[in-house]
């Protein structure tokens, strides 16, 4: 597994209010893919704002704060096999597999693990997010 962070996704209660806040910092959002998610390019990384309840449901955990802290870190693999390999590497390092990898509604492949402190990580292959040779991820043009 390459040492890098691809996406930081924040589970938020109100997408519109959060979008207004981050745009107030001078950040420019990409066009939304739906009303539950907004992305910002962050110099080789992406920050995502995702509806808190929808993000918790995607990971298969409770949104009440006991199993879900409102944040999911993401590692994007170069292909589906990379997702499986990364999840296995995480398991071998002591992670708990929260949700095994599976085909997902947005056309990719993803699963989730929790680190020893319970921090949630999504491991995903997204055919719409190119990764360059250096491991940098970008939003499509």
Tell me the domains of the chain and their CATH numbers.
7-125 (3.10.180.10)
Q: Count the helix, strand and coil residues of the chain and give each as a percent rounded to the nearest 5.
A: 25, 35, 45
Mean pLDDT by 10 residues, the chain (141 residues): 90 89 90 83 89 91 81 94 96 94 96 90 94 88 77
* Cα separation, 42 vs 37, whole angstroms: 16
Tell me what pLDDT residue 28 has: 93
pLDDT confidence of residue 67: 74
Q: What is the pLDDT of residue 98?
A: 96
> What local confidence, expressed as pLDDT, does residue 87 receive?
96
pTM of this structure:
0.75
Burial per residue of 113-126, b for 16 or more beta-carbon CB atoms within 10 angstroms, e otherwise? bbeeeeebbbbbbb
Predicted local distance difference test score (pLDDT) of residue 140:
83
């Amino acid at each position: 597994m390459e040492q890098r962070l691809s996406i930081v996704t924040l589970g938020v209660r109100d997408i519109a209010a959060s979008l207004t806040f981050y745009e107030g910092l001078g950040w420019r959002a990409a066009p939304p893919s739906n009303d539950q998610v907004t992305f910002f390019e962050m110099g080789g990384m992406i920050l995502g704002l995702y509806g808190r309840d929808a993000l918790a449901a995607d990971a298969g955990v409770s949104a009440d704060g006991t199993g879900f802290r409102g944040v999911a870190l993401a590692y994007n693999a170069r292909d589906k096999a990379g997702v499986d390999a990364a999840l296995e590497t995480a398991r071998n390092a002591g992670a708990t597999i929260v949700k095994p990898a599976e085909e997902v509604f947005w056309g990719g492949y993803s699963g989730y693990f929790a680190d020893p402190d319970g921090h949630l990580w999504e491991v995903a292959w997204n055919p719409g997010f190119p990764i360059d040779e250096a491991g940098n991820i970008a939003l499509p043009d």
